[in-house]
């Protein structure tokens, strides 16, 4: 056998890490669409999560975050995102950031709660309605976390789902109907579709045009915030993505 010489490529593309719940079937596909390979390098790892999402199973995820982050490639990341809205609300943004940073070298950590707050600030929105797929004990902490940070959660609706595998199969039309109902009965600045497992990426633009207010989702705001922190573009359009870099 003859050894061949070779050269190493200096890859200057932004490096994005994403921690996905074991039971999530949606966010990875959304992020592959938001971040084509020619705009950023996206690396995905998974954290164990219960088949039934409850406050207890969400809280238990905190102990696995550092290990999940540690399974990402051993190179510095521009941003690592934790893909769980309810988890971010229950565990807390600072605790998530600390756990992720213990497992991966990264310039920034974010999650859907911090991303939503940043998006609302960028768009100048303070009064929102929330659509959640979950039971009240899982959905309520998000509203409480937003309220504690000065956001008015004027109205909410939930599908009362306990089984995470069923969340990815909720008909996007049902989510759209829920958003329509909220806007019809309550004046709001925006609607937030909460949960990284909801398949709503293709519904956002038409629903926003129909309702006349911004319609945000967990995956959308997380991708936007990670792109903003890393200084990279996103393959998407709309009012929120017009505020990249601002």
Please provide the DSSP assignment of 13-35 as one string.
S-EEEEEEETT--SHHHHHHHHS
CA distance 221 to 108: 15
pLDDT tens string 178-221: 999 999 999 999 999 999 999 999 999 999 999 999 999 999 99
pLDDT tops 80 at residue 234: yes
Cα(144)–Cα(135) distance, rounded to whole angstroms?
15
- CA 71 remoteness from chain centre: 20
Model pLDDT, residue 245? 63
The sign of the dihedral angle between the CA atoms of 25, 27, 28, 30 is positive
My answer on whether 198 and 132 are in the same domain is yes
Say if strands 79-83 and 109-110 run parallel, antiparallel, or are unpaired: parallel
Do 127 and 168 belong together in one domain?
yes
Top pLDDT among 7 and 56 is at 7
Residues 137, 206 within the same domain: yes
Tokens 């229950």 belong to 90
pLDDT score of 132 more than 70 = yes
- pTM value is 0.95
Q: How many angstroms separate the CA atoms of 18 and 23, rounded?
A: 14
Residue 145 — φ and ψ, nearest 5°?
A: -65, -40
Residue 54 sits in a domain whose CATH number is 3.40.50.12500
Mean pLDDT to the nearest integer, 104-133: 97
Same domain, 19 and 59: yes
Query: Cα(first)–Cα(last) distance of the chain, in Å?
Result: 56
Provide Rg for the chain, Cα atoms.
18
Does the pLDDT at position 246 exceed 60?
no
Residues 61 and 179 occupy one common structural domain: no
Who contacts 71 (Cβ-Cβ below 8 Å, separation ≥6)?
Answer: 45, 103
pLDDT 10s digits, 3-22: 899 998 888 889 999 999 99
Q: Which domain holds residue 102?
A: 15-112+221-243
Same structural domain, 225 and 108: yes
Instruction: Tell me whether residue 6 is in a domain.
Output: no
Q: Give the chain's domain count.
A: 2
The residue to which tokens 């219960």 are assigned: 50
Burial of 88 (0-12, 13-18, 19+ CB in 10 A): buried
Same-domain status, 81 and 174: no
The CATH number of whichever domain residue 175 belongs to comes to 3.40.50.1860
149 and 32 within one domain: no
Do 72 and 48 lie in one domain? The reply is yes
pLDDT, one tens digit per residue, over 57-110 is 888 899 999 999 999 999 899 999 999 999 999 999 999 999 999 999 999 999
Confidence of residue 177 (pLDDT cuts 50, 70, 90): very high
Q: Which residue has the tokens 């937030």?
A: 192
Q: Distance between CA atoms of 129 and 182, rounded to whole angstroms?
A: 7
Question: Are 208 and 235 in a shared domain?
Answer: no
User: Does 78 map to a domain?
Assistant: yes
CA 137 to CA 93: how far, in whole Å?
Answer: 19
**Is 58 in the same domain as 121?**
no
């Amino acid at each position: 056998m003859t050894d061949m010489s070779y050269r190493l490529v200096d890859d200057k593309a932004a490096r994005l890490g994403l921690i996905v719940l074991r039971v999530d079937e949606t966010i990875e596909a959304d992020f592959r669409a938001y971040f084509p390979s020619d705009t950023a390098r996206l690396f995905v790892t998974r954290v164990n999560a219960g088949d039934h999402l409850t406050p207890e199973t969400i809280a238990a995820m905190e102990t696995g975050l550092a290990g999940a982050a540690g399974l990402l490639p051993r190179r510095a990341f521009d941003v690592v995102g934790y893909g769980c809205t309810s988890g971010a609300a229950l565990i807390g943004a600072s605790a998530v950031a600390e756990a992720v940073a213990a497992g991966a070298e990264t310039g920034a950590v974010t999650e859907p709660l911090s991303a939503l707050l940043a998006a609302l600030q960028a768009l100048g929105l303070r009064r929102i309605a929330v659509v959640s797929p979950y039971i009240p004990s899982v959905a309520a902490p998000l509203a409480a976390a937003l309220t504690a940070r000065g956001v008015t959660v004027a109205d909410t609706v939930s599908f009362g789902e306990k089984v995470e595998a069923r969340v990815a199969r909720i008909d996007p039309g049902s989510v759209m109907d829920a958003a329509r109902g909220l806007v019809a009965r309550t004046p709001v600045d925006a609607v937030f579709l909460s949960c990284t497992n909801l398949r709503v990426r293709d519904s956002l633009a038409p629903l926003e045009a129909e309702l006349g207010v911004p319609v945000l989702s967990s995956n959308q705001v997380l991708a936007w915030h990670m792109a903003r922190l890393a200084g990279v573009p996103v393959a998407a359009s709309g009012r929120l993505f017009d505020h990249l870099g601002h």
